[in-house]
Amino acid sequence: MAGTRRDRRRGNGLVLSRHKLKLFILFVVVIASLIFINNYLRRSAKEPIEPDHKGQQSPDFQGGQNNEQQQLEYPVNVGGGLDQNVGELSYSDDNNEVDDVVHGQDQEKEKENSREDTEGMQGIGNTGEDGKTHEAGSLQQNIETNGKSQDGKLTENSNTAMEEDREQHHDEEDENVNGVKEKQDGKETSKEGEEDKINTVDEDQTGDASKNEVNKDAEDNNKIQDQTNENKIGNAEDNLKTIQEVDKLENENKETVNAGDDEQEKKQLNGKPVIDDIQVKVQGSEEQKGQDDTVGTAAEEKTSVENLAGIQKGQNTEKQIDGINDVNKHILVVPQTSKEELKDVDQDQKDNPGGNVSPEEEKSQLEPVQDDNMIDKAAEGHNDPNELEREKEVIGMKSTEDLTNQQEENNNDLEVIQGKDDAAEQDKTNTGNDGNKELIGETGMQPVETNQVDEEHKMTDTHDVENNVIGDNNDSEIKTDGKEELTGEGNLGNTQEKQSQEQAQVAGNSRDNLDIGGETGKDSIEAKLQGSQCVIPELSSRFDCHPEESPTQEVCEHRGCCWNPLESVHPSRNRPPDCYYPTNFPSYSGTEETYTEYGYQVNLERNTATHYGNDIMQLQMDVAMETNSRLHIKIFDPKNRRYEVPLYTPSVTHKSTSQSYTREVGKSPFSIRVKRAVTEKVLFDTSISTFIFSDQFIQISTALPSNFLYGLGENLSPLLLDLNWTNKTLWARDITPKLNRNLYGAHPFYMVMEGDGNAHGVLLFNSNAMDVIMQPMPALTYRTIGGILDFYMFLGPSPNEVIQQYTEVIGRPFMPPYWSLGFHICRYGYNSLEKTREVVEQTRAAGIPQDVQWNDIDSLDRFMDFTYDPKSYSHLPEFVDELHKNDQKYIVVFDPAISSNQPKGTYPPLDELLSDDSMIIKNVSGGLLIAQVWPEETVFPDFTNPKTMTWWTDQILRFHEKIPFDGAWNDMNEPSSFVHGSFSGCPDDNKYENPPYLPGVSGGSLINQTICMSARHKWNPHYDVHNLYGVSQSMATYGALLKLGKRPFVLSRSTFPSSGKYAAHWTGDIISTWEHMYYTIPSILNFNMFGIPMVGADICGFYGNTTEQLCQRWHQLGAFYPFSRNHNFFKANDQHPTVFSEAMQNSTKKALMTRYSLLPYLYTLFYKAHTDGTPVVRPLFFEYPKDVETYAIDKQFLWGEALMITPVLQEDAVTVDAYFPDGAWYDYHTGAKVKTGKVKLDAPLDTINLHIRGGHIIPEQVPAMTTQASRNNIFGLIVAMSYAATADGCVFLDDGETVDSIDKKLYTMITFNVSDTGISSTVLHHGYPGTESLVLDYIRVLGVAGKPHIVETNGHPLNHSYDEATQVLYITEMALPMHKPFEIKVAFS
């Protein structure tokens, strides 16, 4: 079923009465005569369907197919209380999460107040008593429906008041978070106020359509393709009465079909409201052979009719025929089958064992198959992060020794392949196929005949050619061949070469029936398919040729690929593919290198089209050796300019004089290989599989040097990525985090530890929707649906250096204001200023430090930007002034969506935006795209237009005159929309809405929970720039706040490479569970790798009710998030610290006071991140890259080089397991030295374990209730001695708010050092006048072997004491001015 990621099965329905069964049988007999019995039998075991958790199936959404002519309709809830089966947050019956996240909530009340799922509520059309959809409201004169008029009217907002709408939305979030299921009480709500409709169009591939062709087709059915059969089943309107009878019977019996799983999110895609009674459904089957099929359930019989009703114009989907076939199987006496056909069926059932299974196998197959979009491990009871090691064993992750051996074998194999081992080459020539086997070994390399790059095909850096420079391809002439460009004003958009007639036909068909470049293309690929080319000894070396669901041998071989199903493996997405590329699959060939001033270029050409159509047959590769450690590889269309990410990156005009890498280019087939020069380890190698570059499908694979892979976000997952056939989908999405689900941002960057202490990173600078598939070879495959291939490779060699080099390209992180490092409190649902003030006052009275108070959208007037509620928050300006008097700050929320249905003259931000509608995102026809977010109908500003940025700045500055806020919060900026696409739908005949390949996006559609892909921005269609919307808003907001004259603070939910230059980030709407608390650690570590170090998570969780113990432990952990904020959702209980016991409050105070005392150290880390890109928070392996034990650790982390944090992540635990790498480590609280290796630490409920690394000096300051008050207190130093009795550190000081204080030299930098004679400081730069009032008053020296007899400065003795038990020296009452160098002499007897 296109657009979904799992198999489903029908539940048990109702049995029709005999007389109506006969009527139904007569109806479907007509259909049976048109369908090949062989196809019916072959598919009957292929794709079982399960109903969702309310007994209804989602439509067969063709989001992943290039059916440009189809017009699908999706059912919508039209009556109160009816099923809305669109939600992404629902859970299947056998994976209930109630016990995980419910803490005393009334579930039954939640069920009554909530609808089933978040997305199910959003964007649903309002229906009146007449059962018809009403108009959307104002501004409709600006809306173009693009031929989707829907009876000439727009969908109206589904709720009478948006407050209720938001509450219902979060009711659903709450319900699904808590795993609440709908009661199955044997009744099914009848559907009222609707008129049954059938929309069927009988049309074949060539556009012929006739209802009278049924008999002709029956006579000549051997010549009819599957899709034609599907569209020639007669006029279903004649059988409307039968459908009505089925519906009536189902309602009379009042029985509910069994619930299914949570992926039914497609019932209102494209934003088109349609009736709910008649649904487009897909029926599969896994019934055993020989089962009595003459009587089916009422639900199955209804499905058969609904399949007929769902066949619409241009909807050539094989799987709908499958559904009809399955119904036939249940209610028809099957005609006689020939022996040859039965023989084929027997063979097919061997290939597809699901069709005839043992009871044990059937039971296992009835369990939900899990993949990236399925129920996460928390629901399955596999949420223990400690399972990482066990999972490694299961997936075959190699030990360090195995990896070392493998790398040696890889190097040897690669040398042979490159022709460097002459003896092996000669042996290979003599041994033929046997020689191939020797070369493959355990490394999983491909056979030699396709992988070798011999001397005549290999091009290396052996010479240079001066003055042979190619021009910038961006200046190349754009050839349109007389066609209209699909680009808006000022954008870079794609110009297309003229499609061939065969490719045009492909665009209207299902992917499974694509011609491969026509018959010629098919012959040219299939003719080359030889048996030996399909022999891949290592399963881990198979590369998927059919990433869409349900591959078949016929389709696979039609694509020119190898079919070898793994019958013994249980069906799963996490498994080797059944259909995979042969080693000789046609690819590009490369020319000789042409050298340029910055590197070289190679022209690429292919002669055979691929199965995705619109191949770009000529390409150009530019290779720029930009620095010693940075290589830039760009592959693009030299004839027609394609979309490229329009964000700034540095450019070079000359290649680096030296490089830490070498590269080799294979000519035929084309490949590129990059090695580390010193170790000769292969870091990037595309020779392992085929390379495809078509208009909307680009695929390239590379081998990896080890299994230690990190990055590729944003999603919820452990730090070390699983290479066991897993997929990371990169597509910004408003959704509650679940394991491996694509979340709010997209970061196509990864880093690999190479197994020997070296590291490298790779960025694919591409913003289109993308899958990155990992497999245990180890290797990964990129599949993106637009743009170009724009690779940056960073050679490190240390992990910290990799991130420094990466942020040099995407931009260094912004320097945060000092106050933003304090503790923040927020809540959606204070609902009044009085409640907000109460929280601030209670926190202050408890002695808990707090710097910033926030309000969510409940403080706004009808949820509209640049407003505040004149009733509940009428005195907000005065409250903000009160905060400022107490050295505290206030932050407001700015969602991007602007209310569009306000009367003219009543909402100035809208009036000014409409004054120049070029500032607004348009639909494909040029009208305003109307979507829905919190303030009902909305338009979206186009932040890619400079005019919009000016408008946005004006609104922020004017609002600041009313409310003197200090920072801005950009939420919902994926962008999120509660109606999928727009109120007027999205054009089905637009290539951006129906790409030939659909990545594994949550919801099964690119437009799910966002706007149309064909929507127009100034830069390019939304299809290209969707992932950039968040960063574009961050740029606009940061620029606006700069106008206020102080250092900006912006928090953004959606991010992309470069976001860290402008904004902080939080990890979104996480759940109040111990598991989600753990996952915040790898998330924060990943974002530090992504160049966004100012990152945190909602302390105590956003959804669900926390417990006191969970919130206590979470505040301890959250005190060491770079961005520390408590925030939750209005349906949950209060969770700010003062609502809990005094003991919990004291524990939180202790943790936060520790944070505040360490702020000078944390601020210095942000200075380093801002100036050289070094991460603030780091995994242990960043500091210990040669210690393989650290590679998978993500329950501990480091602040910089010196401070280790080890939180408690399990309920009721009073100890915690920790790992200490070699070297000296000291307890932060006591100063005592700890052992290295694996250690069990005491972890009392009021304490978080902190340890200081030997050899480092940490500056600290006596804490106070705010950062401003803390900055006036005395300073101290913690000196942690190394085994060599050395240590060093530094501190960065400025006023904490001046813009560009570093460039203006308005700062002070001081270093500290321990030598044989004592402790000293050096003032490297003194430009901050405030330093002169700062005093260093105390020092703690850890790891002192004995009591000194002299401690003095400038001949004056200093107060000191020595703790022999902990070996800590305390020096106090020094009163040394910070801006002057000092030297403290420490001498021992």
Active site residues: 971, 974
Place of tokens 């360490």: 1158
d(C-alpha 423, C-alpha 417), whole Å: 12
DSSP state of 941: B
Sheet (strand 931-933) strand order:
898-899, 936-939, 931-933
d(C-alpha 1356, C-alpha 1338), whole Å: 15
User: Are 636 and 789 within 8 A, CB to CB?
Assistant: yes
3-state SS track over 979-1022: CCECCCCCCCCCCCCCCCCCCCCCCCCCCCCCECCCCECCCCEH
3-state SS track over 280-291: CCCCCCCCCCCC
Contacts of 482 (CB under 8 A, 6+ apart): none
Place of tokens 């590129």: 672
d(C-alpha 505, C-alpha 509), whole Å: 7
Q: How would you label 962-988 residue by residue, b for 16+ Cβ within 10 Å and e otherwise?
A: ebebbbbbbbbbbbbbbbbbbbbbbbb
Nearest to 249 by CA among 11, 14, 56: 14
The sign of the torsion formed by the CA atoms of 489, 491, 497, 502 equals negative
* Distance (Å) of CA 83 to CA 98, 259, 277, 482, 1208: 21, 12, 11, 50, 41
Q: What is the DSSP string of 718-762?
A: -SSPP-SSEEEEE--------BT---S--EEEEEEE-SSS-EEEE
Q: Is residue 942 packed enough to be buried (19+ CB in 10 Å), middle (13-18) or exposed (0-12)? A: buried
d(C-alpha 425, C-alpha 423), whole Å: 5
Contacts of 432 (CB under 8 A, 6+ apart): none
Q: Is residue 1189 packed enough to be buried (19+ CB in 10 Å), middle (13-18) or exposed (0-12)? A: middle
74 DSSP β-pair partners: 273
DSSP state of 889: E
Using DSSP's 3-state secondary structure scheme, residue 1096 falls into: strand
Using DSSP's 3-state secondary structure scheme, residue 939 falls into: strand
Angle at 170 between CA 167 and CA 173, to 5 degrees: 160
Using DSSP's 3-state secondary structure scheme, residue 863 falls into: coil
Q: How would you label 493-524 residue by residue, b for 16+ Cβ within 10 Å and e otherwise?
A: bbbbbeeeebbebbbbbbbbbbbbbbeebbeb
The helix or strand, by DSSP H or E, that contains position 1251, with its residue range, turns out to be strand 1249-1253
d(C-alpha 40, C-alpha 812), whole Å: 59
Place of tokens 């006052």: 841
Instruction: Tell me the two tokens of residue 1171.
Output: 């100036």
For the CA atoms of 775, 778, 782, 788, what is the dihedral angle to 10 degrees? -170
Nearest to 1028 by CA among 752, 766, 1206, 1280: 766
d(C-alpha 1364, C-alpha 491), whole Å: 71
Other beta carbons within 10 Å of 58: 28
Instruction: Tell me the two tokens of residue 511.
Output: 């992917």
